[in-house]
Structures are given as C-alpha cells and as structure tokens.
C-alpha cells in the first residue's frame, strides 16, 4: 500500500508484484519500453524476494535491447544466468546476452557467452548448433581465423552427422556457419594491400585471387542451402569480393614515369580497366542473380537492400568506364541442395 498526498487528503494505491509485472508486460506489448522499464524497476526494488524477479529481469532486459541500451540489458541477463543459474530463463538469457555482444561488436564477450552455452547440459541439438555457429562467428570477429575455422567446420559436421536421432529445427545456423567459412578468406583477402612494385603486385594479386576463389566456394555452398537470409547475404558477398578486387587493382598507383605524362596515364588506366573489367561484370551477374532469387522467395532484408545499392553503384562505374553496363553474361542458376548432402568445400592450396 502506497499513500500519496493530495490537496484534499491522501490517495491510496494498492498493488502487489503481479500487478506491476502485468502492467510492465502490457507496456512491453505496446512497445512503450521506457515506461515498461520504470514499472519493472519498481517491482525489482519493492519486491526483491518475489518469484517474479527473474522474468522481470528478463523482460526489462528485452525492453533495454529495444531501446539500444545493450550494456544495461546484458547486466540484467548476466544477473539471471549468474545469480539465478538454475532458473528456466538462464539459458535464454545467455543467448540474448550473446546477441547483445554481437550487436555491439564485443566479440570476446560474445565468444565467452557461447562457450558457456556449449558447456551446458540442457541445450538441445538446435541450440547447440546455434551456439557453435555463433561462437565461430565471434572468433572471426576477433580475427582468430584458425580457431574460427575449426569451430565452424565442427558446427557444419555436427549438422550433417553429429546429432544422432535428434533433428535440427532449422537450417539457419548451418547456413550461417557456411557463410562465415567464406568470411575468413574474404577478410584475409582484404588485409592484403597491393603496391606499385611489380614483383610484389604479382605475388599479392595471386594471393588475393586464391583467397577470392576459396571465399566464393564457401559462399556458393551457403547459397545452395537456400536459407533466404544467408543465401542473399552470400550472394552479396560474392559480388562484393569481385568488385573489391577490381577497386583494389584500379587504386594501385601507376609507375612514376607514367604519372608524369597525362596521355600515358589515360592509356594505362584504360588498359588496366579492360584487363580486369570481367571482375565487375561478374559482380553484377552475381548481384542480379541474388535479386532474382530474393524476388522468387519474397525476401526483403538488409542484405537484399545492400545488393541493390551496390548493383547501382557498380553499374555506374562500368557505364562511366566503357559504356557497357548492360553487357552481363548469363550465369548458371543455383539449384537447391540439402547441406547434409553437400560435400565439404574443396579448398585451394594454402597461401601465405
């Protein structure tokens, strides 16, 4: 009971933890998260021994996530899986905390959370695959590529062969794992900087090309899972690595003796462009195929939106360079393949 002084006396408010919890949930359902958090905080303060403390911590953390207050949300999730480790919400709190860490790029913290999940005995096969794939992605984010590849391949093997009679509910995280196998060589490729030194240029261009082919192999396998989200993401990535290599080669400075002569410089740039224009044409081909796939599957996510942005950008580059933006070759349609039946990605020879 709470008495509030008014001009004409006192107003009495009578409530219990259940009333506050229901009021907070109603606000949460209406997406009024600022107000909901205040109600949840009252419950936590005034009814600290209530059985509703754990669900209140969880729901208030969901509200804080929606408000982009991820660090505050993580504190509440952490309180659940540390202080109330035996609660029914502890496992979900770990997954949510991992998601917050991913969202803010705190990869070490994310990797720790997913490692904790893999150590639990109460996760089913679907959850185990998710934790493995997301731990692998966190290791990629940390730049620990060797550890990441080991974890991701373990996830794919688990999806194909390791669950026994227990079925995986979705192919989402299997496709995610295959996608992140492509991210490793893509990021390694990005780290190689081309220079105008002819010997170094040829060596590093060869390394980039090998990594490009390796990344493309993994992305194609991600597309063949036909998971809408990761298939569109992989299509974007394939186009991007071709466009990125084109940009990297064009950006390499010309030899000093050529730069001094504007006419020679123009000839040099045009010759270089003709030599590598097939890269940008390939990017356009892949992106167009990704858009068509998205339309067939009714997809509309951030990957598809970015494909359209990048597609327009490179078309303009190609049109400005040689007026042949529409000269896009036909490419083979990607047929659905069950990841369980797909063989391991054939790696190219190691480089570097």
Q: What pLDDT is recorded for position 329?
A: 41
Please write the tens of the pLDDT for every residue from 44-65: 999 999 999 999 999 999 999 9
Give the count of beta carbons closer than 10 Å to the beta carbon of residue 55. Answer: 19
Q: Does pLDDT of 131 surpass 80?
A: yes
| Over residues 178-205, mean pLDDT | 91
Token pair of 299 as six digits:
């997809």
Q: What pLDDT is recorded for position 7?
A: 59
Token pair of 248 as six digits:
């990297």
Pick 326 or 119 by higher pLDDT: 119
Please write the tens of the pLDDT for every residue from 235-283: 888 878 877 887 888 888 887 777 888 888 888 777 777 766 777 777 6
Burial degree of 224 (CB within 10 A; 0-12, 13-18, 19+): buried
Q: What pLDDT is recorded for position 298?
A: 63
- pTM for this one? 0.79
Q: Does pLDDT of 12 surpass 60?
A: no
What is each CA distance from 139 to 84, 101, 106, 112, 262, in whole angstroms? 28, 13, 11, 10, 47
Please write the tens of the pLDDT for every residue from 214-226: 998 899 889 888 8
What are the start-end ranges of the H helices in 225-251? 228-251
Token pair of 12 as six digits:
């009495």
DSSP class of 278: H
Kind and range of the H or E element at 12? strand 9-13
Please write the tens of the pLDDT for every residue from 286-295: 777 766 766 6
Find the radius of gyration of the CA atoms of the chain. 26
Contact in structure between 299 and 232 (CB atoms under 8 Å): yes
């Amino acid at each position: 009971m709470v008495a509030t002084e008014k001009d004409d006396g006192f107003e009495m408010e009578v409530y219990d933890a259940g009333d506050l919890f229901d009021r907070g949930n109603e606000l949460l359902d209406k997406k009024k998260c600022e107000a909901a958090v205040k109600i949840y905080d009252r419950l936590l303060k005034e009814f600290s021994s209530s059985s509703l403390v754990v669900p209140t911590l969880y729901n208030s953390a969901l509200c804080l996530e929606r408000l982009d207050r991820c660090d505050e949300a993580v504190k509440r999730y952490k309180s659940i899986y540390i202080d109330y480790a035996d609660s029914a919400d502890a496992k979900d709190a770990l997954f949510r905390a991992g998601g917050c860490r991913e969202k803010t790029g705190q990869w070490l913290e994310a990797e720790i959370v997913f490692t904790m999940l893999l150590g639990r005995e109460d996760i089913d096969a679907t959850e185990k695959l998710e934790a493995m794939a997301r731990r692998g992605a966190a290791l990629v984010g940390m730049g620990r590529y060797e550890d990441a590849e080991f974890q991701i391949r373990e996830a794919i093997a688990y999806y194909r062969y390791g669950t026994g009679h227990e079925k995986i509910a979705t192919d989402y995280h299997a496709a995610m794992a295959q996608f992140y196998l492509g991210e490793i060589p893509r990021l390694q490729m990005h780290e190689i900087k081309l220079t105008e030194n002819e010997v170094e240029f040829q060596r590093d261009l060869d390394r980039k090309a090998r990594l490009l082919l390796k990344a493309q192999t993994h992305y194609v396998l991600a597309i063949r899972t036909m998971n809408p989200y990761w298939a569109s993401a992989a299509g974007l990535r394939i186009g991007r690595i071709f466009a990125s290599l084109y940009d990297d080669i064009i950006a390499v400075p010309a030899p000093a003796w050529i730069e001094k002569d504007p006419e020679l410089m123009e000839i040099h740039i045009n010759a270089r462009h003709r030599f590598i224009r097939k890269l940008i044409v390939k990017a356009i081909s892949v992106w167009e195929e990704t858009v068509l796939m998205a339309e067939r599957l009714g997809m509309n996510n951030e990957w598809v939106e970015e494909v359209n942005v990048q597609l327009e950008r490179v078309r303009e580059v190609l049109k400005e360079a040689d007026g042949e933006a529409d000269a896009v070759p036909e490419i083979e349609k990607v047929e659905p393949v069950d990841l369980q039946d797909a063989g391991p990605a054939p790696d190219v020879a190691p480089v570097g």
